[in-house]
Amino acid sequence: MRADDPLAEKESIQKEDLLGKTVILPGRLELNAEIANWLGSVRKTITSPIKWDLGGSRVILAEDPGCYVITTEGAAALFDERRLSFLPLEPERKIETVIAWKKDQPFGRAAEAFIRFLQKEAAEKGL
């Protein structure tokens, strides 16, 4: 949401905060279903003009006053916190992501660097 929105002063967003609001929901089916489950009966009161797959791109729509975007945590790092405010949902929602690749396949340098990064992160987190 915009940084000057009244909800931006909160510590987190509860579903009741979105009653009657315009909310851009994720297009990814699993994530959309998780958010719909979290919203419960509030889902019927919100206006959701579009669903958008690219989280970072849809956050641009949050610059419109009164428009709220539900996205994944990683999208927040891409935007100026002086203009947009990112708050966690309460209760916290988590969704798993799986990344797989064929073993012993040739990759470009970027793909190899990305795989090393993922392996390092997984090892640091004990995964």
Q: CB-based contacts of 124: which residues, under 8 Å, 6+ apart? A: none
- Calpha distance 122→126 (Å, rounded): 6
Q: How many CB atoms lie within 10 A of CB 59?
A: 20
In a domain? residue 18: yes
pLDDT digits over 76-103, tens only?
666 778 888 989 999 988 777 777 778 8
| Structural domain boundaries, residue 17 | 6-78
- Residue percentage of the chain with pLDDT more than 70: 89
Evaluate whether 24 touches 61 at the Cβ level (below 8 Å).
yes
pLDDT digits over 101-117, tens only?
788 888 899 988 988 88
The total domain count for the chain is: 1
In a domain? residue 94: no
Phi then psi for 99, rounded to 5 degrees? -120, 130
pTM exceeds 0.75, yes or no: no
In a domain? residue 47: yes
